[in-house]
Structures are given as structure tokens and as C-alpha cells.
A = this chain, B = another copy of it.
Amino acid sequence: MKLAATLSSIKPEMDQVERKIKEITSAEPSMISHTSSHLLEAGGKRIRPVFVLLASKFGAPMQKNVIEVAIALELIHMASLVHDDVIDRATIRRGKPTVNDLWDNGTAMFTGDFIFARAVELLQNLDEPRLHLVLSHTIHQLTLGEIEQLKDRYMIGQNLFRYFRRIKRKTALLIASSTELGAISSQCNDEEIKQLKRFGYYIGMAYQIIDDILDFTASEKELGKPVGSDLLNGHLTLPTILAIQKDEASLSSIEAYFKDPTAYNREQIIQTIQDIGSSSAIDEAYAWSDAYLDRALIALEKLPSHPIKKTLRKIAIYLGKRKY
């Protein structure tokens, strides 16, 4: 689902975001234009631009930085996905072949670099220093998250702290930045900025946890990629961390798989993925995402009365219940 399509209050701005992303990525030499257009067509929920635009509604209307910030955040997100897919040797994302699969790893690496550079270029036009501070901190943390994720691959002994710190850096901070920057660019006051940032942060944490749950519980068709991709790629996420605390069989199956992912019995690890997907670890993981969603709703309550609060509440609840 394209979240944006359901949000009539920001439709004109979202159309502008889509158009400008298309412009930015297609006005370039043929190779980049192909890889970038391919990425663009592969779609995505555009959650970051949606949150920038919705948060901006709490402030002064028609502020010039808002659209640029929305586009830049989506580009940063796209760039990081392209690089992630290289690491995971992913062949499919959102039901379409990845750049590294259609072309090669080098092309994907430089496509990511290019898209990130365009984001930086957009950001340079912003005349509000606070936007720069937030963004540069977020980008810094995002790259640390990438490195951490790589380092933590195929590592069995990870605690919850490590997982939460990683998803904070990889996902939640970028979503927190979306609401925060939307608020800053539309001149919200400090309290509004603070609560919108918190809302984004908690939503981001919940969003990633649910993503990690769905990787076990949704179908390949719904996911647009194989079920259990995270575990197959050596990423230990919340459902697994919770499951192996109690389930010795899953623990030893994953240990064996991580020891030698190529040689290991594939049927057995697929079975482990199914076991985790139907275990109580899923309910526990949902309890974590619900706790984050609750905190997001509390932050929302602290915001002044505004029609957009209802929209944000709906999105929070929708994200909490989404099936893919």
C-alpha cells in the first residue's frame, strides 16, 4: 500500500515530492537514470515524506523548506536501502529485482552514493541551521547503524540493548527526523518540535520491530521477498532474540546455520524460521512494538489540538496492525 495515497490532506505536496524525486533521478546520464528510475518505480510507502508533511501542518503553512526536506529524507532512505541490498546480496525488494541483481554490486554502490549526494545537494539549499544539525547527526548515526548491522551479522550472542540501539540508528532516528524536521521547517514551537520528534521516534521503533516480525509471519508475496530473509542473511532481530532465550532447538539450529550458512541444511533453517513465526516470541515482540506505539500516542496527546492529530493517530494504529 502506498500510505500517501490515503492521505488526502497532503496529496498535492506528496505529488510534488514524487515528481521532484523523479526529476532528480532522471535528469542524469543514462545509467544512473536507469538504476534510479528502477528504484523509484519499485515504490515504497514514502513514510518519511508523509511524516515530514504531516508534522509540518502543525506550524505555519506553505513553508519553502518542507518539500525539500521530505525529498531529501526519502533519498537518504533509498540510498541506504541500495547499499543494504548489496550486503545482503538481495535479489528482490518490494517484489522487484534489486539494483545489484539487475546490474551489479559496483553499480549499486555508486547509485547509492549518487542518490545520497543528491540528497546532500538538496539539503545545502536549506537556510535553517537547525535542519542541518539534525540531519547531519541522523546521517552519522545511520552510517554507524549500517556498520553495526554488518558487524553483528551471523553473531548469535546479542542482547536486546544491542538490537534496540541498532534499529534506533538504522530506522527510528530517520523517522524521528522526519517529524522533527517537518516541525522545524514550519516554525513550530519548541514543545511541538519535541513531541513530534518523540512521536516519530517511537513510531520508528515500532515500525522496525513490526517489520522484523513480518519477516517471519507474512507470506513471500506480501513481503515482496523470501520469508525469513533477515535470519537467512545472518541478521538477528527481535523475534529471534526472544525465541532463542527459551527455545534450545531454534538456538542450536541457528548456531549451526550461522557457523556455515552455505553448507548448512536449508530445510532445517526454514523450519526454524517457521517455528519462530508461530512461537510466543512473536507475541512478545508485538508487546514491544505496542509499548512503543503507546508512547507515540502519549507524545501525540501532548500536542495542541489539531485535525492532523487524528490522521497521525490513525497512521500509528494502522502501522501497528499492518500485515506487510
Contacts and interface: CB of A to CB of B under 8 A. Distances in A.
Contact of A83 (B109, B143, B151): B109
Contacts of A120: 120, 136, 139
A125 to B, nearest CB: 8
Counting chain A residues whose Cβ lies within 8 A of the other chain, the interface size class is 35 or more
A146 to B, nearest CB: 5
Given A121-B136, A137-B121, A32 B144 contact: yes
B107 A150 contact: yes
A201 B16 CA distance: 37
A86 B114 contact: no
Contacts of A113: 83, 112, 116, 143, 146
**8 closest cross-chain pairs (CB), A and B:** A124-B132, A121-B136, A124-B136, A114-B143, A117-B143, A87-B106, A117-B139, A110-B146
Contacts of A139: 117, 120-121
Given A118-B140, A120-B136, A124-B135, A110 B32 contact: no
A170 to B, nearest CB: 12
A18 to B, nearest CB: 21
Given A32-B144, A116-B116, 6 more contacts: A31-B147, A31-B150, A83-B109, A86-B109, A124-B132, A127-B129
Contacts of A127: 129
Contacts of A142: 117
Nearest to A146: B110
Contacts of A304: none
B124 A110 contact: no
A105 interface: yes
A31 B151 contact: yes
Which of A111, A114, A133 gathers the greatest number of chain B CB atoms within 10 Å? A114
A29 interface: yes
9 contacts: A31-B147, A83-B110, A110-B147, A111-B147, A112-B113, A116-B116, A117-B136, A118-B140, A125-B132
